A and B are shown apart, each in its own frame.
Chain A
Amino acid sequence: MDLLSILSNSLRGAFGPEAAIYALAAVGLNLHFGYTGLLNFGQVGFMLVGAYGTAVPVVAWGLPLWVGILIGIACAIALALLLGVPTLRLRGDYLAIATIAAAEVLRYIYRSEWAEPLTGGVFGITQFANDFYDFNPFSGPFVVGPFNFSANALWVMTVGWGGTLLACGLVALLIHSPWGRVLRSVREDEQAARSLGKNIFSYKMQSLILGGVLGALAGSLMAINTQALTPDVFMPILTFYLWTIMILGGASRIMGPVLGAIVFWFLLTFLDSLLRQAIGTGVIPSGWLESSDVGAIRFAFVGLGLMLLMMFRPAGLLGKQKELRLDVR
């Protein structure tokens, strides 16, 4: 077995474009859940409207890509209002139900025959992000030792991680302001915040919109990264990867989602490479495990890892473990 290549694969996974995209979407989710206590189980819905908002105007109407990105953001705001207005005045679980349902409904609408002229239905749309790659400052691939990224991947990574860090910076500024104090008080006890004159509905709405827009930007980048968009990329399971990432890194920590995404993608690619090599070299006898099983097995291992984490570091890698004990009176 070639350990060096396993390791380099894993590191590529950990810092690759996908990790950046997931991190950005998880920063939005962290604003929702970690800081406001909103149960959003449909972050993938925001990614979907962001991705299609970006691609459709370019392909269908020939608009420039940056207009598409703005339209993606506008779609996320509309979705947040649509979800928030009826549910944010109610108990927390209503938002959870509404978001999980809305994300699935949206996926079915975007893949329906009815929407096909715009979205390309199940076949999706391709080649809409050439504007983005025209701006690529990198001319050749990046090769240092075992690392190897194409120029385009490098460009997406730069924008993705740069954007994620900017988003983290913005969240940090917001959370450490009086605005963030109200947000966290809503998470702790809505009634107490209300008794002190805070309009909690408005704050929950602002949080839902802001986190949703971050999700939409992640969706845009996801579309741009592959230059190919199909609705079935946006399965509900993606939302749960984002939750895993947030909890892994530590909810309500600024850098939690970033570390979570890196660790998540490291583990995923590490297990993938390791198992494939083990099968290929006969360390795991064929008949025990086929390489076609690897995709599923690695998620089982991630699940196991998450269980161990919850047992030994329940507040996540960066979380303050002390905070969790506070609920005990």
Chain B
Amino acid sequence: MSGDQEQHELEPDLLAEREELIDVERELEAQGPSAGAVRAAEALTGVAPEPGVAKPDPILSADGVVREFGGLTAVDVDHLEVQRGTITALIGPNGAGKSTFFNLVSGFDTPTRGSWSFNGTDISRMAAHKIARLGMVRTFQLTKALMRLTTLENVMLGATGQSGESLWRAPLRFLWSDQERSNQKRADVLLERFRLSHMRDEFAGTMSGGQRKLLEMARALMVEPDLVMLDEPMAGVNPALTQSLLGHIQTLRDEGVTIILVEHDMDVIMSISDWVVCFAEGRVIAEGRPDDIRRDKAVIDAYLGARRSLTQEDDK
């Protein structure tokens, strides 16, 4: 890495921060698997690594979900269940239909056909904002920072059940100022967690791409969801921060939140996910524990096959 050569020129506090992160990482490694990871592994023991397999306690369950764009079938999922309290990774080549699947189940796109349920409730024709209120929140692959709101306002927007959001109560500050204050405290904690406190009162539009990724995640957590769907949360985030993000994701899982994660970095996936689902051309071609997936023939064909043909082209 070229960054290493410049390391001696880095600010001392940046170096300190980095060392601190390395310490955190070591500590995590030393502790071994966390309570949540153990719980997730136990829940998933005995679940066969095959596409569409049933889980003991699914939080999300999709049936026959199909989305066609003209002639192209972007998503065609026969059956998929996501186990509660796990980190489930969605992987697959570009254009495999991962984001489209996210859009469908979160209510941001309408399927050609199919149905799915969240916590046992059929939500397949529900409006997106109602799905979010039920406790299923998603982030976007292309971040959607609310540019002319401050970072703090961005996060505070995520709080649910705000009484000041009704037109009649809005002008009467005393009716909602207490709730606003406690929301603000919670938002500040989240900003601190994602190292965005220094941006607190700046417009979110002044943030870098990576910071916007962090902001989106903080905002989603403000909703206090049962299920978070993160579309490539680590894309464009620097390696040190990626480590701490992974830490946060694991902590969330340990607190009982279910996480579905789209990610391309195989090292990341293998290190944190409890279950991996592989998409290709809209279908679920494989699912299983990370170790199952590593050896799966279909996955190797879909991923490594593509990589091999790419390197061949590079050689020419």
Stretch at the interface among B43-51, B56-64, B88-96, B137-145: B137-145
Whole-angstrom distance between the alpha carbons of A199 and B162 in the complex?
13
Whole-angstrom distance between the alpha carbons of A252 and B149 in the complex?
12
Whole-angstrom distance between the alpha carbons of A293 and B37 in the complex?
81
Contact with A along B200-239 (1 / 0, CB 8 A): 0001011001000000000110110000000000000000
Complex contact B132–A181 (CB within 8 A): no
For window 100-141 of chain B, which residues contact chain A by CB distance below 8 Å? 106, 108, 127-130, 132-133, 137-140
Complex contact A323–B203 (CB within 8 A): yes
Complex contact A177–B170 (CB within 8 A): yes
Query: In the complex, how many angstroms separate the beta carbon of B152 from the nearest chain A beta carbon?
Result: 10
Whole-angstrom distance between the alpha carbons of A174 and B168 in the complex?
9
Q: Is A140 part of the contact surface with B, judged by Cβ < 8 Å?
A: no
Complex contact A189–B129 (CB within 8 A): no
Q: Is B146 part of the contact surface with A, judged by Cβ < 8 Å?
A: yes
Whole-angstrom distance between the alpha carbons of A193 and B160 in the complex?
12
Complex contact A197–B223 (CB within 8 A): yes
Please pick, from A179, A188, A198, A252, the residue contacting B170 in the complex, using a CB distance under 8 A: A179
Whole-angstrom distance between the alpha carbons of A329 and B176 in the complex?
35
- With most chain A CB atoms within 10 A of its CB, the pick from B106, B145, B205 is B205
Complex contact A195–B206 (CB within 8 A): no
- Are A188 and B165 CB-contacts (below 8 A) given A195-B140, A196-B137, A197-B160? no
Which residues of chain B have C-beta atoms less than 8 A from A197's C-beta?
A: 129-130, 132-133, 137, 160, 223
Complex contact A198–B129 (CB within 8 A): yes
Residue of B nearest to A190 (CB): B144
Whole-angstrom distance between the alpha carbons of A189 and B145 in the complex?
8
- Are A177 and B171 CB-contacts (below 8 A) given A191-B144, A195-B106, A195-B132? yes
Complex contact A174–B129 (CB within 8 A): no
Complex contact A194–B146 (CB within 8 A): no
Complex contact B167–A179 (CB within 8 A): yes
Complex contact B165–A189 (CB within 8 A): no
Q: Is B147 part of the contact surface with A, judged by Cβ < 8 Å?
A: yes
Whole-angstrom distance between the alpha carbons of A73 and B169 in the complex?
21
For window 173-220 of chain A, which residues contact chain B by CB distance below 8 Å? 173-174, 177-182, 184-185, 187-189, 191-200, 206, 210
Query: In the complex, how many angstroms separate the beta carbon of B2 from the nearest chain A beta carbon?
Result: 24
Q: Is B180 part of the contact surface with A, judged by Cβ < 8 Å?
A: yes
- Are A178 and B164 CB-contacts (below 8 A) given A188-B148, A191-B108, A195-B132? yes
Complex contact B149–A185 (CB within 8 A): yes
Residue of A nearest to B107 (CB): A194
Residue of B nearest to A200 (CB): B129
Which residues of chain B have C-beta atoms less than 8 A from A329's C-beta?
A: 209
Complex contact B171–A184 (CB within 8 A): no
Q: Is B7 part of the contact surface with A, judged by Cβ < 8 Å?
A: no
Complex contact B129–A194 (CB within 8 A): yes
Which residues of chain A have C-beta atoms less than 8 A from B180's C-beta?
A: 178
Query: In the complex, how many angstroms separate the beta carbon of B77 from the nearest chain A beta carbon?
Result: 21
Which residues of chain A have C-beta atoms less than 8 A from B106's C-beta?
A: 195
- Are A189 and B173 CB-contacts (below 8 A) given A182-B157, A194-B108, A194-B132? no
Whole-angstrom distance between the alpha carbons of A273 and B206 in the complex?
46
Whole-angstrom distance between the alpha carbons of A327 and B165 in the complex?
27
- Are A184 and B148 CB-contacts (below 8 A) given A178-B165, A194-B108? yes
Which residues of chain B have C-beta atoms less than 8 A from A177's C-beta?
A: 164, 170-171, 173, 176
Query: In the complex, how many angstroms separate the beta carbon of B212 from the nearest chain A beta carbon?
Result: 9
Which residues of chain B have C-beta atoms less than 8 A from A322's C-beta?
A: 203
Please pick, from B144, B148, B223, the residue contacting A192 in the complex, using a CB distance under 8 A: B144
For window 38-87 of chain B, which residues contact chain A by CB distance below 8 Å? none
Query: In the complex, how many angstroms separate the beta carbon of A216 from the nearest chain B beta carbon?
Result: 18
Complex contact A181–B171 (CB within 8 A): no
Whole-angstrom distance between the alpha carbons of A180 and B149 in the complex?
11
Which residues of chain B have C-beta atoms less than 8 A from A182's C-beta?
A: 157, 165
Query: In the complex, how many angstroms separate the beta carbon of A325 from the nearest chain B beta carbon?
Result: 8
Query: In the complex, how many angstroms separate the beta carbon of B263 from the nearest chain A beta carbon?
Result: 19
Q: Is B290 part of the contact surface with A, judged by Cβ < 8 Å?
A: no
Query: In the complex, how many angstroms separate the beta carbon of B163 from the nearest chain A beta carbon?
Result: 8
Q: Is B282 part of the contact surface with A, judged by Cβ < 8 Å?
A: no
Which residues of chain A have C-beta atoms less than 8 A from B173's C-beta?
A: 173, 177
Whole-angstrom distance between the alpha carbons of A185 and B176 in the complex?
19
Q: Is B97 part of the contact surface with A, judged by Cβ < 8 Å?
A: no
Which residues of chain A have C-beta atoms less than 8 A from B148's C-beta?
A: 184, 187-188, 252, 323, 326
Residue of B nearest to A199 (CB): B129
Whole-angstrom distance between the alpha carbons of A179 and B140 in the complex?
24
Which residues of chain A have C-beta atoms less than 8 A from B209's C-beta?
A: 329
Q: Is B156 part of the contact surface with A, judged by Cβ < 8 Å?
A: yes
Which residues of chain A have C-beta atoms less than 8 A from B223's C-beta?
A: 196-197
Contacts A/B (CB < 8 Å), 15 sampled: A173-B170, A173-B173, A174-B167, A177-B171, A182-B165, A184-B153, A185-B146, A189-B144, A192-B144, A193-B146, A194-B129, A195-B140, A197-B137, A199-B129, A323-B205
Chain B: residues with CB nearer than 8 A to chain A?
Answer: 106, 108, 127-130, 132-133, 137-140, 144-149, 153, 156-158, 160, 162-167, 169-171, 173, 176, 180, 203, 205-206, 209, 219-220, 222-223
Question: Top 6 closest A-B pairs, CB basis?
Answer: A326-B205, A178-B164, A179-B170, A197-B132, A177-B170, A192-B144
A-B contact sample (9 more), CB < 8 A, given A178-B163, A195-B137: A181-B157, A184-B148, A185-B146, A189-B146, A192-B145, A192-B219, A195-B128, A200-B129, A210-B167
